[in-house]
């Protein structure tokens, strides 16, 4: 006995994956009049809405509120902190997700004219996809262009016994209402440091273990600001330590990690919850990309600067796409949106468009934040050879003084002829200060353009202006200018 014949659709664009990248393409294309089919096997909104950006920032906001109520003796404020209701905190995080969910819902996109299909997709040839729904129905979609936006998922490290331990990833930690007495965090990247700080502020003991330096892709000078804050708040930091064996705690609960230390020694750490935050890998399983002529490697689907794959009909964007020109993948929601814009220009209008690679902003949402655009100091030196480094500490910024939060600095990298190459900021609201530097780099401005700004007083933005102005300090207050002033003194 055979089932019903497959439904067949011909359309302009078929998008596979309803995360940030796929939804941006689907909404934009549909509102511009294209026929759009959107296939999603899981939850609409993808990782960013459900298990990533939204819940993590909601949890961080609640942790920051807790930290802000614990008194500030240096400012004359003291008193007992409130009691944390951890279940209510997690309920609040869930409420934020629920409030945003309608914007990413199937109903909204159907209202825009998108044909939304809840199914698993696989390519059957270079221009057709077969979508298998859970109810057994099959839809075959032929499209002029395909966009793969299937995202990424946590990559678990090869640790002996890890499969016998209840280990959280970002996919599960936000729904667990049980507060850990002692949280072990494995991984010193952005997710690891953010969750370590959030949980220690909410009252858990936290041990953060990283196999390398803390935040190894960032500028060490700026990372040190974050490190000192974590230590001051009580996070136990173990760096250059590799977890080799994991085992459950007594009674099968919790986790015991046996660590191999860089000096050849070993150490045992024990906690009642474990969060694994050691990286991500692209979701490409089951797509049968070989049938479509699409090449993929460990980093993701191979793409060019236009986000096209090795099949010119097919684009890949977001976390499932590999890095461009040998660079590591840029797995940020804002990059997914940027890449979606590139695809819309290419797929709908055949316009030349290339993804931005020089000025990609990134923010780590600890408190204080760490924000960067462009290369680190080491990367700039390797790439350009000659680099001038400008710094301005927030300790010399009046707004930071009035706020009682003077840690951190603005650090700017300047190349030959005064061209701005990159900028990094460690400090309160660093991410909000970064946009000006991104615009400067993308516009190929020189450092004098920022030095000449009139920055409102008192704002933290003055630190950016002062950092830029320091490029001219030696010349402006040097002996040549002093001689010129003395000479002009004699003119009428």
CATH code of 249's domain: 3.50.50.60
Domain end call among 316, 349, 382: 349
Pairing of strands 388-393, 409-414: antiparallel
- Outline where DSSP puts E strands in 262-313: 266-271, 273-276, 280-282, 296-297, 300-301
Contact indicator for 124, 288 with CB cutoff of 8 Å: yes
Residue at 354 is within a domain: no
CA angle 293, 298, 300 (to 5 degrees): 55
Q: State whether the Cα torsion 306-307-309-312 is positive or negative.
A: negative
- Provide the pLDDT confidence category of residue 481 given band limits of 50, 70 and 90: low
Same domain (yes/no): 302, 226: no
Same domain (yes/no): 23, 117: yes
Rounded-to-integer distance, Cα 125 and Cα 387, Å = 50
Rounded-to-integer distance, Cα 426 and Cα 374, Å = 15
Same domain (yes/no): 460, 383: yes
Residue at 78 is within a domain: no
What's the pTM?
0.94
> How many CB atoms sit inside 10 A of residue 76's CB?
7
Same domain (yes/no): 241, 123: no
Residue at 26 is within a domain: yes
Residue at 130 is within a domain: yes
Q: Give yes or no for residue 492 having a pLDDT over 90.
A: no
Residue at 484 is within a domain: no
Domain residue limits at 253: 162-278
Same domain (yes/no): 126, 213: no
Residue at 96 is within a domain: no
Residue at 271 is within a domain: yes
| Total domains in the fold of the chain | 3
Pairing of strands 36-40, 7-16: parallel
Same domain (yes/no): 12, 134: yes
Average pLDDT over residues 115-129: 97
Same domain (yes/no): 319, 369: no
Assigned token pair, 214 = 């803390």
Same domain (yes/no): 256, 386: no
Rounded-to-integer distance, Cα 255 and Cα 270, Å = 6
**Exposure string (b/e) for 40-66, b if CB count within 10 Å is 16 or more?**
bbbebbbbbbbbbbbbbebbbebbbeb
Q: Give yes or no for residue 478 having a pLDDT over 90.
A: no
Pairing of strands 273-276, 167-168: parallel
Assigned token pair, 113 = 């004219």
Contacts (Cβ under 8 Å, ≥6 apart) of 88: none
Q: What is the pLDDT of residue 1?
A: 44
Q: What is the pLDDT of residues 228-272, one digit of tens each?
A: 999 999 999 999 999 999 999 887 789 999 999 999 999 999 999
Q: Give yes or no for residue 477 having a pLDDT over 90.
A: no
Same domain (yes/no): 148, 166: no
Mean pLDDT, the chain, whole residue set = 94
Q: Which helix (H) or strand (E) holds 168?
A: strand 167-168
Same domain (yes/no): 291, 330: yes
Q: What is the pLDDT of residues 317-341, one digit of tens each?
A: 999 999 998 888 999 999 999 999 9
Residue 426, CA distances (Å) to 212, 229, 409 in order: 20, 11, 6
Contact indicator for 150, 238 with CB cutoff of 8 Å: no
Contact indicator for 318, 330 with CB cutoff of 8 Å: no
Domain end call among 252, 278, 304: 278
Q: What is the pLDDT of residue 3?
A: 66
Domain CATH for 445: 3.30.390.30
Domain end call among 253, 278, 303: 278
Residue at 95 is within a domain: no
Same domain (yes/no): 134, 169: no
- Provide the pLDDT confidence category of residue 415 given band limits of 50, 70 and 90: very high
Same domain (yes/no): 469, 427: yes
Average pLDDT over residues 467-475: 87
% pLDDT > 90, the chain: 87
């Amino acid at each position: 006995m055979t089932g019903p014949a497959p439904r067949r659709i011909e359309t302009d664009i078929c998008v596979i994956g309803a995360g940030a990248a796929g939804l941006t393409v689907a909404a934009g294309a549909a509102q511009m009049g294209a026929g759009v089919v959107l296939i999603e096997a899981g939850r609409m909104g993808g990782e960013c809405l459900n298990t990533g950006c939204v819940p993590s920032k909601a949890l961080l906001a609640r942790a920051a509120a807790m930290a802000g109520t614990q008194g500030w003796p240096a400012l004359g404020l003291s008193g007992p902190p409130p009691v944390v209701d951890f279940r209510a905190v997690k309920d609040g995080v869930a409420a934020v997700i629920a409030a945003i969910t309608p914007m990413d819902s199937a109903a909204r996109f159907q209202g825009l004219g998108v044909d939304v299909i809840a199914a698993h997709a696989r390519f059957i040839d270079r221009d057709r996809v077969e979508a298998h729904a859970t109810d057994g129905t099959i839809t075959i979609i032929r499209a002029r262009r395909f966009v793969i936006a299937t995202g990424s998922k946590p990559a678990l490290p090869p640790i002996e016994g890890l499969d016998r331990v209840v280990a959280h990833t970002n996919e599960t930690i936000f729904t667990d209402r049980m507060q850990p007495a002692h949280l072990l965090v494995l991984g010193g990247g952005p997710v690891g440091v953010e969750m370590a700080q959030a949980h220690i502020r909410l009252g858990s003991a936290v041990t953060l273990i990283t196999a390398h330096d803390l935040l190894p892709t960032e500028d060490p000078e700026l990372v040190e600001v974050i490190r000192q804050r974590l230590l001051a708040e009580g996070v136990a930091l173990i760096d250059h330590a590799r977890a080799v064996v994991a085992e459950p705690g007594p009674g099968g609960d919790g986790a015991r990690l046996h660590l191999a230390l860089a000096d050849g020694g070993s150490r045992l750490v024990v906690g009642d919850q474990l969060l694994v935050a050691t990286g991500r890998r692209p979701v490409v399983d089951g797509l049968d990309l070989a049938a479509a002529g699409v090449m993929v490697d460990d980093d993701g689907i191979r793409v060019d600067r236009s986000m096209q794959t090795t099949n010119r009909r097919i684009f890949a964007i977001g976390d499932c796409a590999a890095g461009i020109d040998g660079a590591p993948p840029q797995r940020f929601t804002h990059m997914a949106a940027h890449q979606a814009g590139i695809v819309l220009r290419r797929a709908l209008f055949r316009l030349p468009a290339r993804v931005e690679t020089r000025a990609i902003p990134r923010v780590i949402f600890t408190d204080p934040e760490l924000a960067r655009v462009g290369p680190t100091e080491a990367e700039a030196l390797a790439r350009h050879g000659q680099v001038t480094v400008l710094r301005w500490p927030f300790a010399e910024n009046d707004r930071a003084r009035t706020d009682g939060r003077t840690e951190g600095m603005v650090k700017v990298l300047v190349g030959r002829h005064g061209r701005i190459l990159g900028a990094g900021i460690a400090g309160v609201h660093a991410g909000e200060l970064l946009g000006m530097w991104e615009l400067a780099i993308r516009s190929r401005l020189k450092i004098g353009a920022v030095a000449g700004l009139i920055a409102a007083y008192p704002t933290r933005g003055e630190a950016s202006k002062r950092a830029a102005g320091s490029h001219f300090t030696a010349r402006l207050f040097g002996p040549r200018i002093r001689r010129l002033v003395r000479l002009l003194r004699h003119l009428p």
